[in-house]
Amino acid sequence: MISEQLEKFRPRINALDSIPTIPVIIQPLLTMLQLPPEQVDLEKVAELVSYDKTIAVQCLRMANSPLFGRRQVETVRNAVMILGMKRVQSILLCCSLNQVVPADKWAFDPLTFWRHSLGCALVTRKMAQMIGYPDAEKAYLAGLLHDLGILVNSLVCTEEYRKCVEDAAARRISIDRAEQEWLGFTHCQSGKVLAERWNLSTDLIEVIEFHHDVELTKNARPLVAMVHLSDLLCRVRELGYGYYEVMGLDLAGDVAWSSLVQHYPTLASVDLARFTLDIEGAIDEIAELVDSVFSVKR
């Protein structure tokens, strides 16, 4: 049930898409991201990438990273071909969303937020490949957008949200718990409102709404479960929200894992310690990639 507090903020959330920077780049991107890959025009994507120097640089860095074979990629067109259009569009989306929140409105350090989002995108994709989920790129996009509501909260209640984030860090509690206490709603609920306004696919809306409550998911259970687990794995490693959260990690006892086993019965025989180790091994590489994209020295 949507709380009264969220209803109070709804008109402001609905007004978000009138912010001039959104429709220019994001709208065509969102439309393209929901098309089958063969219908997406490579030249159009390369043109959108070249439009913004930062985005072009990020695409080139990513295409040249070890995860993509560390080739000598020098042109945007080649980078787009190597990364695959879905991934490039996701980078575009991430960079454009970054511009949606003006510098003085961020309640989070933007770098921390994007490291977490991109980290989750890459971990979710890795997990999708490991368990045989049919659409690894959708998994990537779901990981990238799962915390969309954090942007919404930063925009619609900046000052209060800053205090909320500070409090979460001081008490080492999860963001959603602090949001519930400070705002009366979480980034899951506010993110859902924006996702619906932007006509994201129903799978993505469920990820945004239920990634902290997997058991409430209606149709996209495996996708939501993967994002939930990736989010946890990133948070216990150095790809969280910029502070150390007091939390345990018990995949075997997590409802998200049992949901995945229900959908993919062969997972029941997977050695979970080994599975976690493989993902954790990938996280080191992913953290390096994320930092190279955002040029942070580790």
Q: Annotate 152-187 with b (16+ C-beta within 10 A) or e (fewer).
A: bbbbbbeeebbebbeebbeeebbbbebbbebbebbb
Tokens found for residue 95: 């960079």
Angle between helix axes 53-63 and 76-83 (nearest 10 degrees) is: 50
Q: Which stretch binds Fe ion (CB under 5 A): 2-10, 139-147, 177-185, 255-263?
A: 139-147
Nearest distance, CB of residue 146 and Fe ion, angstroms: 6
Nearest distance, CB of residue 61 and Fe ion, angstroms: 23
Nearest distance, CB of residue 233 and Fe ion, angstroms: 11
Q: Based on CB atoms, which residue is closest to Fe ion, 234 or 293? A: 234
The verdict on 147 binding Fe ion (CB under 5 A) reads yes
One character per residue 204-233, x = contact with Fe ion (rule: CB under 5 A)? ---------------------------x--
Tokens found for residue 227: 């994002």
- Three-state DSSP at 240 gives coil
Q: Which stretch binds Fe ion (CB under 5 A): 142-150, 161-169, 214-222, 290-298?
A: 142-150
Size of the site for Fe ion (CB under 5 A): 2
Gap between the Cα atoms of 154 and 169, Å rounded: 16
Nearest distance, CB of residue 179 and Fe ion, angstroms: 9
Nearest distance, CB of residue 40 and Fe ion, angstroms: 28
């949507």: which residue's tokens?
Answer: 2
261 closest CA partner among 229, 234, 298: 229
Q: Based on CB atoms, which residue is closest to Fe ion, 138 or 187? A: 187
The verdict on 137 binding Fe ion (CB under 5 A) reads no
Query: Which residue type, as a one-letter code, is found at position 41?
Result: D
DSSP codes of every residue in 13-36 = HHGGGGSTHHHHHHHHHHHHHTS-
Nearest distance, CB of residue 147 and Fe ion, angstroms: 4
One character per residue 226-265, x = contact with Fe ion (rule: CB under 5 A)? -----x----------------------------------
Element (H, E) at 72: none
Of all residues in the shown chain, the one whose CB is closest to Fe ion is: 231
The verdict on 291 binding Fe ion (CB under 5 A) reads no
Give me the helices (H) in 219-271, please. Answer: 221-236, 255-263
- Would you tell me which residues interact with Fe ion (CB under 5 A)? 147, 231
